[in-house]
Amino acid sequence: MKIAVAGIGYVGLSMAVLLAQHNEVMAIDILKEKVAMINSKKSPIEDFLITEYLTMMKLKLKATSDRVKAYKGADYVIIAAPTDYDIERECFNTEAIEAIVEDVVEINPQAVMVIKSTVPMGYTKALKEKYNIDNIIFSPEFLREGKALYDNLYPSRIIIGEKSERAEEFAALLKQGAKKSNIQTIYMDSTEAEAVKLYANAYLAMRVAYFNEIDTYAELMGLDTKAIIDGVGLDPRIGSYYNNPSFGYGGYCLPKDTSQLKALYRNIPNNLISAILDSNTTRKRHITRMIMDKSPKVAGIYRLSMKADSDNFRASAIQDIIGGLKDSNIEAVIYEPSLTEDTFAGLRVIKDIDDFKKASDIIVTNRISQEIQDVAHKVYTRDLYNRD
C-alpha cells in the first residue's frame, strides 16, 4: 500500500512509523524542520521507540512538505492534524483537517482518507456532506505522549467508524504493523466512533478529578491520602491505576476534549460532564491557595510539563497555578530545561538547577523527581505514586 500521513506530530509520526514497516509511507507536514528531521531519521518528539525504529528498523518512510508528492498515488491518507479548542466558537478548530481534505480531493480523489485527529461528534458526517464525498473514515487514536508508538504496537483496541470492506482493510493495516495479537476491533458508524474518543477522554479526566478531590479533602482534614486511595483502589471494580493525585488534569487532549464534550451537551441535560471541568478549575485554585498559605518569598516552579517523561507542556495544570500565583503577586521562578528563553509567562527562568534550588524557598512540582530529592524539605507536590 502507498500511504500518506498528514501531520508529523505524536499521532501522525507513530502511525507513519507503524505503517512504514510494511507499506510505502510518505509523511507530510507544513513544518519543514520536522520533514528534514524525519528524512535524517531523527524524531521531532521524545519517544524512545520511535527513535529506535527510525534508526534501527528498515522502514519505508519518507517525509515531504510537497502536497502533490505526498498525496498523488496514495491508497490511504491518514489525517493527524491538530484540533485545538476555539474558546469563542466553543468548538474544535478543524481548519487544518479541512485544508488536507481539500488538497486530497483536488490531487487524489480516489484515496481513502482516515481521520485520526479528535473531532466533535457528527463531524465526519458533516464533512462528507460539505465536500460531497464518501471516501473518508474516522478512526479514533488512543495513544499516550511519550509512548505513542508503543500504544500503536500494543493497542488497547482498534475502533473504525465505518462498517465496510475498506474499514476492515484499514484495520488490517494497523494490525499488520502491531506486535500484539488478538486486538479487539470494533466497527461502528462515524459519529459513535467520534463519541468513543471524547467519552474515553472525559472518563479519564473525571477519574483524575475524582482522585484529586479525595486528595483535597485529605489534605485539608489532615488525612493520609495514600491510605485512602490504596484502600479504595483494591476494589477490582475501581482498580489501583490512574489514581495518582496531581495539580489537575492537563496536557493537549483532556482539557480540550472535555471542553468540547461540555459544549456538545449545551442543550442536553447533564451535571457530570460540566462538573469535570469545574472540579479541575477548583483543584487548581486549591493548589494555588495551599502554596500561598505557605507565604513563600520566592516560589520555584520545577518543570512545566504534566508528566515526568513528557517533552512538552501544552495546557499543563502548572501553568494555571503560575497564573494564580502571579495574580496574588507571589514572586515565582521557573526551572524548565527545555526552555531556551530567559522568561516564561513573565517569570524568570533559572537555567542552573542549583541556582534554582537556592533561589526558591518552596519548590512546587506536579511530579517528584530524583533531581530535587536533596531539597525534599522545600518541595510541595501531591504526587504519591511517581507515575502518570
Answer yes or no: 253 catalytic. yes
CA distances from 54 to 40, 43, 121, 122, 153 (A): 9, 7, 35, 36, 15
Binning the chain into helix, strand and coil, the percentages to the nearest 5 are: 45, 15, 40
SS3 135: coil
Residue with cell 528563553: 341
Nearer to ligand NAD, 201 or 319 (CB): 201
Nearer to ligand NAD, 28 or 330 (CB): 28
For the CB of residue 86, give the shortest distance to ligand NAD in the complex, in Å: 13
CA contacts within 13 A on the Cβ side of 95: 5
Separation of CA 325 from chain center: 26
List of residues contacting ligand NAD (CB under 6 A)? 6-12, 28-31, 34, 80-83, 96, 99-100, 116-118, 141, 143, 145, 252-253
Could you give phi then psi for residue 373, rounded to 5 degrees? -65, -35
Shortest distance in whole angstroms from residue 96 CB to ligand NAD: 4
- Residue 79 to residues 115, 145, 280, 296, 302, Cα–Cα distance (Å): 5, 18, 30, 47, 35
Could you tell me how many residues make up the chain? 388
Burial 198-220 (b: 16+ CB within 10 A, else e): bebbbebbbbbbebbebbbebee
Q: Give least dist CB 250 to ligand NAD, A.
A: 12
Closer by beta carbon to ligand NAD, 9 or else 248: 9
Question: For residues 95 and 24, is the Cβ–Cβ distance under 8 A?
Answer: no
As measured in angstroms, the least distance from the Cβ of 229 to ligand NAD is 25
Minimum CB separation of residue 197 from ligand NAD in Å reads 7
- Apex 160 CA angle, 15 and 134, nearest 5: 100
Q: Give one DSSP letter per residue of 286-320, joined into a string.
A: HHHHHHHHT--SEEEEE-SSSSTT-S--TT-HHHH
Looking at the Cβ atoms of 14 and 216, the one nearer to ligand NAD is: 14
The residue among 81 and 372 lying less far from ligand NAD, judged by its C-beta, is 81
Q: Give the Cα separation of 91 and 13 in Å (integer).
A: 25
CB nearer to ligand NAD: pick between 96 and 149: 96
CB of 1 to ligand NAD, least distance (A): 20
Cα-based distances in Å from 12 to 78, 245, 317, 353, 375: 8, 30, 25, 34, 40
Cβ neighbours of 95 (radius 10 Å): 13
Nearer to ligand NAD by Cβ, of 116 and 286: the residue is: 116
In whole angstroms, how close is the CB of 307 to ligand NAD at the nearest point?
Answer: 11
> Catalytic pick from 101, 202, 253, 368?
253
So which residues are the catalytic ones?
Answer: 253
